[in-house]
Amino acid sequence: MPFFKDQIAVKTTESMRAGFWNRSHHLDRMTLRELWIAYFQYPAIIAYLAAAAGAIGVWAWRPATPVQTLAAMLVATLVYPLVWYCLHRWVLHSKWMWKSKLLAPTWKRIHYDHHQDPNHLEVLFGGLHTTLPTIAAATMPIGYAIGGIGGAAIAMATGLITTCVYEFFHCIQHLAYKPKNKWVASIKQRHMQHHFHNENGNYGITNYFWDRLFGTFYEKAGERPKSPTVFNLGYTQEVAERYPYVSDLSGGVATGHPRKRQNG
């Protein structure tokens, strides 16, 4: 039975990647129109939207009061940037996950690969096995405390939809596209600095309030030195010799600008 389950999982994955997803996509080579098409075909986004619809269905079945519903939605929206900041800074940019043979594959998948090639669309989104439990843990307890089952469900739905919004702007930040909107242009610049200048700052995506509060915000690249680990997050060849798990999965430790590596 496990064998057949594995075969079904493989076929499901292959079917999800069929058509548009049977080749790699790099945002720095895509247009905004191509991004819209790719975004709504991506399995993770489809899963988030389907899960949000399911959560709204639970809310309709066991609704909270209007005040409780609005409060749960508001709190879920407000807490999201803080949760993202904490996870991004102290988990995704951690130097402890690569030391564990058990955790190293997860760290490689959810963030190391993204910094190795920031514009590679297929690794921009986190794995559902890590994102869905995180969204649930960040929103449902608060929602339940406010409005019971209905409050938990609507808070979860809010977190899922917020994730979709965040991920779309995250794509925009890596897209070969100059935003006309000043705010979008500003957050794009901050995020590009995080990926191509110094990774130890500008952890937000659309909201840099917590960066400002915790002293990790920088507006101009000249305010911070160029980081030698901006593409490997500190996982150097020396580190790999002691903790080889990520290197073994990656076929070695890549160095230098990702586009130069690809062209080379």
Q: Is 23 inside a domain boundary? A: no
Cα 187 to Cα 192: distance, rounded to the nearest angstrom: 9
Q: Is 93 inside a domain boundary? A: yes
Q: Count CA atoms within 13 Å of residue 252 on its CB side.
A: 2
Asked if pLDDT for residue 7 goes beyond 80, the answer is: no
Asked if pLDDT for residue 19 goes beyond 70, the answer is: no
Q: 3-state DSSP: the chain helix, strand, coil percent, rounded to 5?
A: 70, 0, 30
The torsion defined by the Cα of 54, 55, 57 and 62, in degrees rounded to 10, comes to 150
Domain encompassing residue 45: 31-117+129-263
Q: What is the mean pLDDT of residues 73-93?
A: 95
% of the chain exceeding 90 in pLDDT: 74
How many Cβ atoms are within 10 Å of 20's Cβ, its own excluded?
A: 12
Q: Is 19 inside a domain boundary? A: no
Sign of the Cα torsion 213, 217, 222, 225 reads: positive
Q: Phi first, then psi: give them for residue 26, nearest 5 degrees.
A: -120, 125
% of the chain exceeding 70 in pLDDT: 88
Cα 24 to Cα 252: distance, rounded to the nearest angstrom: 21
Q: What is the pLDDT of residues 139-188, one digit of tens each?
A: 999 999 999 999 999 999 999 999 999 999 999 999 988 899 999 999 99
* pTM of this structure: 0.86
Q: Is 218 inside a domain boundary? A: yes
Asked if pLDDT for residue 8 goes beyond 50, the answer is: no
Which pLDDT does position 15 carry in this prediction? Answer: 44
Domain count along the chain:
1
Q: Is 9 inside a domain boundary? A: no
Which pLDDT does position 177 carry in this prediction? Answer: 85
Asked if pLDDT for residue 11 goes beyond 50, the answer is: no
Distances (CA, A) of 158 to 75, 79, 146: 10, 11, 14
- With cut-offs at 50, 70 and 90, classify the pLDDT of residue 108: very high
Higher-scoring residue by pLDDT: 255, 264: 255
Cα 108 to Cα 187: distance, rounded to the nearest angstrom: 25
Average pLDDT, the chain: 88
Cα 158 to Cα 80: distance, rounded to the nearest angstrom: 10
| Amino acid at the residue 166 | Y
Q: Phi first, then psi: give them for residue 151, nearest 5 degrees.
A: -65, -40
Which pLDDT does position 2 carry in this prediction? Answer: 41
Q: Is 3 inside a domain boundary? A: no
Q: Is 133 inside a domain boundary? A: yes
